[in-house]
Amino acid sequence: MEANQKQALIGVICCHKQQDAYQIQSVNEFYLNALAAYGAGAILLPHHLGASALNRVLSQLDGVLLTGSHSNVDPQLYAASHHEPRLDPGRDRLAFAIVDYSRQQGLPVFGICRGFQEMNVALGGSLHHQVYLREGAIEHREPETKDFAVKYASQHPLKLNPQGKLAQWLDTEQIEVNSLHNQGIDQLAEGLQLEAIAEDGLIEAYCLAEHPFFYAVQWHPEWQAAQNPLSQVLFSQFVAAAERHQQA
């Protein structure tokens, strides 16, 4: 960061959780640590922001990170009727408003796991709610272990779109990623460009091509973001886009 350049400020969406009798707005510190590793500051975005307040806050931010979560996007939002036991309607509302603002104003947005899924749904796409039951599916679900090194270890390869941003950033045709998800993309929203796909055909990264930075991945690059080469590329590109937005 140059001496006269202000620290990029990234809004990080909160999740609603219950702890004992308390209702909590929370963020996993993996995401905050990842932003800090690339020189960005984090501002937490709770669900209680009304439309006017949210627009005022977003106008002062340089980017937004839509994190992973144990909750799922409400199926009604993509015209599905199955039951989901873990919903977070406040997050759905906030994320959709952020995506709408980002698309209109060019604010950089980076989506991870749930963020990847909700960005697609917000633009009109749909989800599979049990990707592991698809015909020919490989294993995508979270390993049953408390050892983070095992939980976040690389689990399967992805083929990159040779014309995509990630292929250009990495100068490669294939990567290995971790996998901690039950749901995934069914129909990719109109206007989104496929960036990476698993060997069973599941889309795992996309972007909005003409946007300054509207990028989303199904895996979890926040784990060891300062050490993992793939995570380094994603977070450095996101923070660089946020810095450009600040300067503009």
The set of catalytic residues is 113, 220, 222
Q: Which amino acid is at 75?
A: P
Residue closest to 177 by CA, chosen among 155, 147, 200:
155
- Cβ-proximal residues to 229 (8 Å cutoff; 6+ apart), any chain: none
**How many other CB atoms sit within 10 Å of the CB of residue 86?**
8
- Quick one: residue 167, left, alpha or beta (phi over 0 = left, psi -120 to 50 = alpha)? alpha
Quote the CA–CA distance of 187 and 203 in Å, as a whole number: 9
Alpha carbon distance, N-terminus to C-terminus of the chain = 16
- The tokens 């698993």 sit on which residue? 198
